[in-house]
Amino acid sequence: MAREMVMDSTPEVLREYYRSVQSDLPTEEMVVNMGPQHPSTHGVLRMVLRTDGEMVQEAIPHLGYLHRCAEKIGESLQPFQYVPYTDRMDYVAGMNNNQTWALAIEKLAGLEVPPRAQAIRVIFAELNRIASHLVSVGSYGLDMGAFTPFLYCFREREMILDLFEATCGARLTYSYITPGGVTQDLPEGFVDRCREFLDYFEPKILEYNQLLSWNHIFVKRTSKVGVISLADALAWGLTGVCLRASGIRWDLRKVKPYDGYEKYDFEIPIGQPGGAPGVPQGVLVGDSWNRYFLRLLEMEQCVRIIRQALDQLPDGDVMAKKAKNIKLPDDEVYVETENPRGQMGFYVRGDGSTIPARVKARGPCFCNLSIATHVLRDILIADIPAIFGSIDVVMGDVDR
C-alpha cells in the first residue's frame, strides 16, 4: 500500500494493513509504558502496553498511584465529618458523591430529609452531572486533536461553578449535600440565575454536535472503535454511560429512584446504530462514539430535570432535625446512586456509636476501568486515547 493510501485510509483499513505487513515481516514485541503522567490517561494511571509494531497486543492498567485510605478514614470520623472525603473520590462530581454518602447515612440512621432539601439536591446533582460531562466531552475532543470544543465546554462549566460558589463557597470540593439535607439554603436570586444559565446552555449542545459529534474526522476516529457488547458490559460490571451505550436502558434514577426522582419526567438515552436520528453512518452500538454522544444526550435530560425541580421547589427547612452526632444503630446498609460515571455505592455498618464500624465505597470508575484489558487489544496505538477517553475514568474514584 502506497504511503498516500495509508494516510487517507480509515482506521479499519489501517489495522488490516498493519496486520498484513506484520505477517510478512519478522517483528519483535516491545513493552511500552503509557503514563502515569500521560495527558490521555486522565490522571495518574499507568498502562503497560505490549505492542507489535503499531498494533497493541495487550494493555494492562496499573493502579495505586492515588490511593489515600479513604475507606479506613471513614471508620474514624462521624458521618458529617467524612463528607469532604467523598468530594475527593470522583473530584469532578463532588455533589453526586456527597449525595450518595448522605443517603447511605440517612437510611442507616432513619433520618427524614425535608422536601425542599431533596429538590435542592436534585438541582445540584444534575448541575454537577452537566459539569462533569462537559469535562469529559471537552477533554475527549482534546484527546482526538480538537482544541476548540475543550474551550467551549469549559466556558459553560465555569458558569455552573459560579452557581456552586454562590451557594456553598467552593468550586470543586463542595461538602454541600450532607446527612440530613444540605448545609444551607439557596442564596437570593439563585433560581433566576439558574434559569438564565439553562436558557443559555441548552442551545450550546447543538453547537457541540456541529463542532465535534458530526465532524467527519472525529467520527472516523471513534466509530467502530472499542466496541463493547451488551454481554461484555454486563459481565464486566460496567454501569452508567458505558453500560447504556451498549444498548440497555438502566439508570438508578428511574429503576430505584431516590431524593424524589420519581416525580420528574425525563428519558434515559441508550446507544444507537448508524443511521438513527442524529447518528452518523458507520457507528455501532457500544462503540466509542456512542459512549461520547450519550453524555451530550444526558445533558439535555439534565436541563429538563433541573427546570422541573426549579418549578416545583417547595418552601421549608433544608436540614433534618438532630442531623449531627447521630448514633448509628447496630445494622448495615448499602446505597447506590446514578453518578455521572455510573453507579456509586456506599456500604456502611454501624455498631451503636456515632462513628461507622465499617465503610466501603463502590466506585464506578474502578469497575468501568476493569474492561480495559479486554477491549484494548488488537488495536492501533492511536486508538487507545479514543477508547480510554470514551470510558471517562477519574483516578481519584479508582484508587480512593
174 in Cβ contact with 125 (< 8 Å)? no
Q: How confident is the model at residue 14 (pLDDT cuts 50, 70, 90)?
A: low
Q: Is the confidence at residue 262, as pLDDT, over 80?
A: yes
Q: How confident is the model at residue 7 (pLDDT cuts 50, 70, 90)?
A: very low
CA-to-CA distance for 335 and 344, rounded, in angstroms? Answer: 8
386 in Cβ contact with 288 (< 8 Å)? yes
Domains by residue range for the chain, with CATH: 3-62 (no CATH), 79-399 (1.10.645.10)
Q: Express as a percent the part of the chain with pLDDT over 70.
A: 93
CA proximity to 142, closest of 227, 89, 65, 221: 221
**pTM for the complete prediction?**
0.90
User: pLDDT tens digit string along 73-113?
Assistant: 999 999 999 999 999 888 899 999 999 999 999 999 999 99
Q: Where are the beta strands (DSSP E) in 161-239?
A: 177-178, 181-182
Q: Grid coordinates standing for 12?
A: 479499519
306 in Cβ contact with 261 (< 8 Å)? no
CA-to-CA distance for 302 and 122, rounded, in angstroms? Answer: 10
Q: Is the confidence at residue 392, as pLDDT, over 90?
A: no
In eight-state DSSP terms, residue 359 is E
Task: Count CA atoms closer than 13 A to 98's CA, side-chain side.
Answer: 30
CA-to-CA distance for 207 and 365, rounded, in angstroms? Answer: 28
For 102, 178, 179, 257, 351, the CA distances from 329, given in Å and listed in that order, are: 16, 19, 15, 24, 6
For 31, 292, 293, 366, the CA distances from 236, given in Å and listed in that order, are: 26, 19, 22, 11
User: pLDDT tens digit string along 194-240?
Assistant: 999 999 999 999 999 998 999 899 999 898 988 999 999 999 999 99
